[in-house]
C-alpha cells in the first residue's frame, strides 16, 4: 500500500518535488465605457487601480457586510490610499459614492454566465480543466500528486469571520515578486510569468509546501499545499489519529492526576488541573495568547476571564453549575451550563475571589505551561489531541448505542447523523440557520402530505381487492391482492424515509456536521461502521472526502476499534 512505503529519516518529507508554481489570477479587465461610477450624482471616470477597488465594493452591495460601519470605514480608508491625488481631492465621502450601476453590471454578467448554452459551458469547463492539468499536479518522489489550492487568492476586500475588526480592508493582488518557491534542486524550476521574477527559490525538503507568500492584512503566511488526497497529507492525517488513539491508553492516569492536583498546595497547579478538566470534559480549545488588539476578542480555556463564567450552587435541579458565555474561535459564541464536580466548583470560587470581571480566571496559567505539562504526560499530547480523542470516542460510543441492525439504510443513516451531531454539539460547531431552511422544509412537508394521501388510497385499494378475493376466490383476484399489498408496502417505506429526512433536517438546522467529520473524527470509525452494516461509504463521504480518507478506506475492516 502506498501509505506504508519506506519511511524517510526524521524531518525529511520528500526527496523529489517538481511543479509549475502557482497559477496567478488574470489581470483586471476595465469596465465597459457605458458602466459608470457616480460621485455626488455626477459620473466620474476613475483611474484603473481606483476603479478595480470600486468593483470589489460594488460586487458586495447586496451583502450584509457593506451595511456595517467598520467594513465601510476600513474600505474607504484603504481605497483612498490607492487613489490618484486628483481623485483624493474629489472623493471625500463614501455616502456620496454611487456603485449601483457597477453592481448591476456584475449581477447581469453573472446571470448571463448561468444562462449560457450547454456547449459554451462545456468550453469553459475544458479551459478550467486545462489549467488544472498544467498547474494542479506535482511530482513528489515519483508519484504524480494533486495540489490543493494551486491558484493565488484574487484581490478583494477582507471579510473575516464573526465581527472581525479588519473587515473591509484591501486584500492586495499577489505578484510573483511576493512568492517563495520550494522544489528539489535537481528538478525543473518553475518559470515565473514573463517580465517577473520570484522573491526566492528554496530547496527545503523538511517542509511540505510548494510555494508561500505573506498576505497583507494579518501578515500571515499563505501556502500552496498538496491536496488532502495526497500520500503526504494522508500520512499526516493518519498519524494525527494514531496520537489520539495513544491517549486512550493513558487518559485514566491523566484524569487521576488532574483530580489529585485540584487539592495541590500550588495555585498554579490547581489552575492547570481545572483547565485540563474543562479541555477534557467540554472539549474546549486551549486558547493561545494573541497580540493586543490584533484580532477580535475571542478566548479559549486558558484565556477565560472572570466575566465569562457564572457560578450557581444550584440551578435547574442540578448542583455546582458553571454557566459559560464567551466568544470562541471565529467569534462563535460558546454558551453552556454544566454541572461540575464539587472540588472544581470550589476551586473556581477561589480563582474568582477579589477579581474584577475583566481579570483572567486562570491568571497563573499560560498555554505554553499547559502544553509543556501535556507533553510530559504523553509524547505528542496537546489540547487539540483531547478534542480529537473525545470527538472520536463519542462517535464510536454513540454509533454503538444508536444503531439498530434491524433498521433500513435510511434509519441507520439517521442514527449515524445523530451520533455525528452529538460530536458537533460537544465541539460547539454551530452554523446560522440556512436562509432556504423554512422554504425547503415546507416543500418536504408538502411531499409528505401528498405521500400520506397516496398511502391512504393504497390502503383502500388493498381492502377492495381483499373483499373481491373473498367473493370470487379465484387466482387472478389473489394475485391482485398481492400486487396491491406490494404497492402499499413500497409507499409506506417511502413515507417513512421522508419522515426520517424531515426529523434529520430539523435536528440539523443549527449544527455544522462537516467540521468534526473532516477534522476531529477518525474516518476508520465511519468506514468500519459502513462495512459492518452494509452501508455504501458514499452515503457518508462525498467524492472529495473519499479521496481525502482513501488511507482509512484502505485500512479499516468492519471490526476496527478506535
Q: Determine the Cα–Cα distance for residues 277 and 526; give it in Å rounded to an integer.
A: 28
- Residues 6 or more apart whose CB falls under 8 angstroms from that of 159 comprise 65, 167
Catalytic residue chosen out of the listed positions 258, 277, 520, 541: 520
Q: Is 520 a catalytic residue?
A: yes
Stated as kind and residue range, the H or E segment containing 417 is helix 409-426
Facing residues of 170 across strands? 157
Q: Which residue in 216, 175, 177 sits closest to 197, CA to CA? A: 177
Q: What is the 3-state secondary structure (H, E, C) of 140-193?
A: ECCEEEEECCCECCCCEECCCCCCCCCCCCEECCCCHHHCEEECCCCCCCCCCC
Q: Determine the Cα–Cα distance for residues 122 and 129; give it in Å rounded to an integer.
A: 10
Facing residues of 323 across strands? 310, 337
At residue 335, the 3 state secondary structure works out as strand
Query: What Cα–Cα distance (Å) separates residue 512 from each residue in 113, 126, 160, 417?
Result: 31, 34, 18, 11
Q: Are 157 and 75 in contact (CB under 8 A)?
A: yes
Q: What DSSP assignment string belongs to 245-270?
A: HHHHHHHHHHHHHHHHHTT-S-HHHH
Angle ∠(395,400,401) on CA atoms, nearest 5: 100
Query: What Cα–Cα distance (Å) separates residue 83 from each residue in 95, 158, 272?
Result: 17, 19, 52
Q: Are 513 and 426 in contact (CB under 8 A)?
A: no
Q: How many helices (H) and strands (E) does the chain have?
A: 17, 15
Angle of helix 409-426 relative to helix 523-533, nearest 10 degrees?
160
Active-site residues, by number, are: 520
Amino acid at each position: 500500500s502506498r501509505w506504508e512505503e519506506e519511511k524517510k529519516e526524521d524531518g525529511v518529507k520528500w526527496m523529489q518535488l517538481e511543479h509549475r508554481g502557482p497559477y496567478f489570477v488574470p489581470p483586471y479587465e476595465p469596465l465597459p465605457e457605458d458602466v459608470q461610477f457616480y460621485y455626488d450624482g455626477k459620473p466620474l471616470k476613475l483611474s484603473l487601480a481606483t476603479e478595480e477597488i470600486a468593483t470589489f465594493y460594488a460586487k458586495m452591495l447586496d451583502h450584509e457586510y457593506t451595511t456595517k460601519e467598520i467594513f465601510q470605514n476600513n474600505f474607504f480608508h484603504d481605497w483612498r490610499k490607492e487613489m490618484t491625488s486628483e481623485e483624493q481631492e474629489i472623493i471625500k465621502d463614501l455616502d456620496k459614492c454611487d456603485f449601483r450601476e457597477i453592481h448591476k453590471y456584475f449581477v447581469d454578467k453573472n446571470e448571463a454566465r448561468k444562462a449560457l448554452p450547454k456547449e459554451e459551458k462545456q468550453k469553459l469547463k475544458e479551459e478550467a480543466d486545462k489549467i488544472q492539468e498544467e498547474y494542479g499536479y506535482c511530482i513528489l518522489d515519483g508519484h504524480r500528486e494533486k495540489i490543493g489550492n494551486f491558484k493565488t487568492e484574487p484581490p478583494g476586500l477582507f471579510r473575516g469571520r464573526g465581527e472581525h475588526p479588519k473587515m473591509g480592508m484591501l486584500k492586495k493582488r499577489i505578484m510573483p515578486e511576493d512568492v517563495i518557491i520550494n522544489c528539489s534542486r535537481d528538478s525543473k524550476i518553475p518559470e515565473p510569468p514573463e517580465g517577473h521574477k520570484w522573491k526566492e527559490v528554496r530547496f527545503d525538503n523538511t517542509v511540505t509546501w510548494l510555494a508561500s507568500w505573506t498576505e497583507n492584512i494579518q501578515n500571515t503566511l499563505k501556502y500552496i499545499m498538496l491536496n488532502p488526497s495526497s500520500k503526504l497529507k494522508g500520512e499526516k492525517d493518519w498519524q494525527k489519529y494514531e496520537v489520539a488513539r495513544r491517549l486512550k491508553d493513558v487518559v485514566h492516569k491523566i484524569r487521576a492526576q488532574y483530580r489529585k492536583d485540584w487539592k495541590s498546595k500550588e495555585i498554579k497547579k490547581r489552575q492547570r488541573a481545572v483547565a485540563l478538566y474543562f479541555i477534557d470534559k467540554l472539549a474546549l480549545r486551549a486558547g493561545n495568547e494573541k497580540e493586543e488588539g490584533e484580532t477580535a476578542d475571542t478566548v479559549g480555556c486558558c484565556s477565560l476571564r472572570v466575566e465569562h463564567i457564572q457560578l450557581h450552587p444550584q440551578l435547574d435541579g442540578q448542583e455546582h453549575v458553571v454557566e459559560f458565555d464567551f466568544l470562541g474561535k471565529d467569534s462563535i459564541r460558546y454558551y453552556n451550563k454544566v454541572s461540575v464536580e464539587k472540588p472544581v466548583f470550589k476551586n473556581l470560587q477561589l480563582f474568582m475571589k477579589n477579581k474584577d470581571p475583566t481579570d483572567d480566571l486562570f491568571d497563573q496559567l499560560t498555554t505554553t505551561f499547559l502544553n509543556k505539562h501535556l507533553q510530559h504526560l504523553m509524547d505528542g499530547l496537546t489540547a487539540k489531541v483531547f478534542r480529537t480523542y473525545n470527538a472520536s470516542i463519542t462517535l464510536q460510543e454513540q454509533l454503538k448505542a444508536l444503531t439498530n441492525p434491524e433498521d433500513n439504510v435510511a434509519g441507520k443513516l439517521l442514527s449515524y447523523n445523530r451520533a455525528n451531531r452529538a460530536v458537533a454539539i460537544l465541539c460547539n460547531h454551530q452554523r446560522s440557520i440556512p436562509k432556504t431552511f423554512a422554504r425547503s422544509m415546507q416543500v418536504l412537508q408538502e411531499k409528505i402530505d401528498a405521500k400520506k394521501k397516496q398511502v391512504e388510497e393504497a390502503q383502500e385499494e388493498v381492502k377492495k381487492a381483499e373483499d373481491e378475493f373473498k367473493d370470487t376466490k379465484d387466482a387472478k383476484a389473489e394475485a391482485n391482492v398481492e400486487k396491491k399489498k406490494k404497492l402499499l408496502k413500497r409507499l409506506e417505506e417511502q413515507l417513512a424515509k421522508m419522515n426520517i429526512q424531515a426529523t434529520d433536517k430539523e435536528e440539523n438546522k443549527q449544527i455544522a456536521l462537516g467540521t468534526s467529520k473532516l477534522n476531529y473524527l477518525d474516518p476508520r470509525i465511519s468506514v468500519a461502521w459502513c462495512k459492518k452494516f452494509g452501508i455504501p461509504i458514499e452515503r457518508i463521504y462525498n467524492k472529495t472526502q473519499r479521496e481525502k480518507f482513501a488511507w482509512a478506506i484502505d485500512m479499516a475492516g468492519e471490526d476496527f476499534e478506535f
